[in-house]
Amino acid sequence: MTHMRRTFRVAAAGLLCALCVQTGGQAADLDLTVGYLRLEEPAHPVLSGLDPVPARRGIEGAELGVKDNQTTGGFLGHSYALDVVSLAPEALAADVAAAARDMLAKTRVVVLDMSSEAALAVADLAEAKGAILINAASGDAALRGASCRANLLHTALEDSMAADALMQVLLSKRWTKLAMIVGPTAEDGGRAQSYRQAAQKFGLKIVSETTWTFDSDLRRAASREVPLLTQGFKSHDVVLIADAHDDFARYIEHNTWEPRPVAGAGGLTAVAWAPVIEQWGAAQLQSRFTDMTGRAMTPRDYAAWAAVRALGEAVTRTGTAEAGALHDYLLSDGFELAGFQGRPLSFRNWNGQMRQPVPVVNAHAQVAAAPLEGFEHPRNPLDTLGTDQPESECHAFGE
Amino acid sequence: MRVIYAGLLTACLAQPALAAEIWVSNEKDDTLSVIDIDTLEVIRTLKTGERPRGITFNADFTRLYICASDSDAVQVMDPETGEILFDLPSGEDPEQFVLHPDDRHLWIANEDDAVTTVVDVDSRTVVAQINVGIEPEGMAVSPDGKTVITTSETTNMAHWIDTESHEIYANTLVDSRPRHAEFVKDGTELWVSSEIGGTISVFDTGNQNEIGKIHFEIKGVHPDLIQPVGFELTPDQKTAFVALGPSNHVAVVNTETLEVEGYILTGRRVWHMAFSPDHRLLFTTNGVSGDVTVIDVAKREAIKSIKVGRFPWGAAMRP
């Protein structure tokens, strides 16, 4: 690992140019352009308009990552840029493939902000062989499992990492009897499945389950409808909500038949990032992001930031911008990223998932950071979250 | 583990010697706690600006400089009266600083701005601002006053700044999230702690080459939670005490071999530290538990914990 530690003596004049590299004219020893390919999600109708999806969600996280990389790079003669292509939700698979081909002709490192099917199609393009693609959007288990690809890493949380984090918190509070409300969409069903698996993994019990079917305007009717819906639950400690689109969950809390905390969506949630996170220097990242964008940093922005920063860290430590070398380094034991979460972030070398603590938060504060004390793992406590190596169906990463 | 030898302490410290004090900044209380070293009790609590972090005294201890981060100012306090005399311009979000041996220039890390600011405390003006990496924090000045170091947490570097020209003459990479830097052994070595990397990098100041690295290992504590932050060396420069953050331990390091000789249990998330004037006692700030651990340096054990304000951060000794 001698290549990892170097002394850089640079002429002072060049150094002061750290902030002026963007204006061009600075001869850089290494250039890394990171591609950012987004297939916009079709807007999902939700009951409340209180939390609109920011138009440049994800992209702005990547932009901050490039800025951070650029500051470091300025001292080393390394230069970074971001190439963003965002496709409308109506784009066809062929359009995505064409855009990906164009991008891969320009750069071998691309952040993907799209559905799991679209990401997989990009990863399977002939042009993507030997590239580094980083999924910053999908939590789909299959992408880390049977459908994993060696050229596809993930900074987005695997869904089961969030579910495991939530169950660790509930278990540590001994709130082990759960009553679950599942939304009507396929994504809600997937979320519910990850909760069932996580509950089983940590020995919690889902004592009742019901499906959300209401089509009335809950902003007016929640106080009448929700007590009836939850009245039939068996004795439970927590109401767990599988609502992948943040549609109805916000109307459940304080409307339940029994006085119970709400978790999963609304109430207590496990997320990659949230505005309430301020420990471990996170306040600095939040304020840098908000100063730049005028809004709060979302989990998608965090995943995009982490993807770009991971690439920057790899360039800094290896002194190369070549995709193959960066890929090897990212998956090696030597790689670690400071992600403002109190533990170093790294990649699982069996499926390309980024190891990361999972904050468990409510609207006003961070409640816990999983893994919680007492959840041990022979390799790394972070591996108590998500699919572990023995259960993994991913074989694309070699041994 | 935090044993209280109150009787013993009173016995051996009760001489009416100098009423030396340890000053502690409480980041989330906007106060300073002043600990009397004889009684090991908080004798004064003083109001400051918002979010006080780095604190340091001037050469004759007649002034205390306080980084009031969220007030965007360095405050100057009369330690006798506890009165804030005036604010110095500091640049945005001053987190930590170091006072040049000339007793006149404060070198300030502006965490939110990626800048190191040099302030003349007499004329109360900004002399220079130097672009550094993201989230500058650790600050150190060489004993000859010729070099100032700024470490940047997200850029993972130590920046070597010529104090005459105010220009960076070298940048050295360190492990993730550097927090604290000190020139040691008469300025022949620079030590930089890396919180997330879990190491201290040792540099030869002559050529800025890395010549060693200190690693830590505590039984029963996952390496990810061993996060070195502040450290201090004994006057003979043979032993270093290193605060290890959320592992809740201070390491005792042999500075020749760079091997760890032992670990001392402290309060939670131990951060910075200061010695008593006679170097018999060491006081550590413990951010999460809101207290200060008193360590008997010779015995290498904690002898008392003292409740201070919320999130104690910096520590400075006043004889």
Contacts of residue B177 in chain A, CB cutoff 8 Å? 281, 338
A374 to chain B, any CB pair closer than 8 A? The answer is: no
Choose the closest CB to B131 out of A18, A288, A380.
Answer: A18
**φ and ψ at residue A168, rounded to 5 degrees:** -60, -40
Answer for the pair A309, A340: CB distance below 8 angstroms, yes or no: no
The DSSP annotation for A202-242 comes to HT-EEEEEEE----S-HHHHHHHHHHHHHHTPPS-SEEEEE
- Pairwise CB contact (< 8 Å): A9 & B133: no
Spell out the residues 6+ positions from residue B84 whose beta carbon is closer than 8 angstroms to its own: B48, B49, B75, B76, B77
Helix (H, G, I), strand (E, B) or coil at B101: coil
A9 to chain B, any CB pair closer than 8 A? The answer is: yes
What is chain B's mean pLDDT, rounded? 93
DSSP A85: E
* CB atoms closer than 10 angstroms to residue B188: 14
d(CA B293, CA B287): 11
Domains (ranges, CATH) in chain B?
6-318 (2.130.10.10)
The least confident of A224-228, A393-397, B83-87 is: A224-228
Interval A130-156 mean pLDDT: 97
Interval B210-230 mean pLDDT: 94
Contacts of residue B167 in chain A, CB cutoff 8 Å? 12, 15-16
Q: A68-85 burial, b if ≥16 CB within 10 A, otherwise e?
A: bbbbbbbbbbbbbebebe
- Pairwise CB contact (< 8 Å): A75 & B159: yes
pLDDT category at A78 given cuts 50, 70, 90 is very high
* pLDDT reading at B13 higher than 50: no
- Pairwise CB contact (< 8 Å): A343 & B225: yes
Choose the closest CB to B177 out of A68, A71, A338.
Answer: A338
* CB atoms closer than 10 angstroms to residue A40: 17
Q: What is the pLDDT of residues A254-278, one digit of tens each?
A: 999 999 999 999 899 999 999 999 9
Q: What is the pLDDT of residues A89-124, one digit of tens each?
A: 999 999 999 999 999 999 999 999 999 999 999 999
Give A155→chain B minimum CA distance, Å: 18
Residue with the bigger pLDDT between A77 and A13: it is A77
Question: What is the model's pLDDT at position B207?
Answer: 96
A72 to chain B, any CB pair closer than 8 A? The answer is: yes
- Pairwise CB contact (< 8 Å): A72 & B131: no
Selected for mutation to probe chain B from A71, A345, A384 (highest B CB count within 10 Å) is A71
Q: What is the ipTM of this complex?
A: 0.80
Which of B109, B84, B93, B90 has the alpha carbon at shortest distance from B32?
B84
d(CA B176, CA A4): 12
- Pairwise CB contact (< 8 Å): A284 & B112: yes
- Pairwise CB contact (< 8 Å): A10 & B222: no
Contacts of residue B170 in chain A, CB cutoff 8 Å? 7-10
Chain length of chain B: 319
DSSP A353: B
Answer for the pair B259, B253: CB distance below 8 angstroms, yes or no: yes
Q: What is the pLDDT of residues A210-226, one digit of tens each?
A: 998 876 666 667 888 89
- Between chain A and chain B, the number of residue pairs with CB atoms below 8 A apart is 99
Q: What is the pLDDT of residues B266-289, one digit of tens each?
A: 999 999 999 999 999 999 999 999
Contacts of residue B159 in chain A, CB cutoff 8 Å? 75
Burial class (CB in 10 A: 0-12, 13-18, 19+), B294: buried
Burial class (CB in 10 A: 0-12, 13-18, 19+), B98: buried
Domains (ranges, CATH) in chain A?
2-157+274-358 (3.40.50.2300), 160-270 (3.40.50.2300)
Burial class (CB in 10 A: 0-12, 13-18, 19+), B147: buried
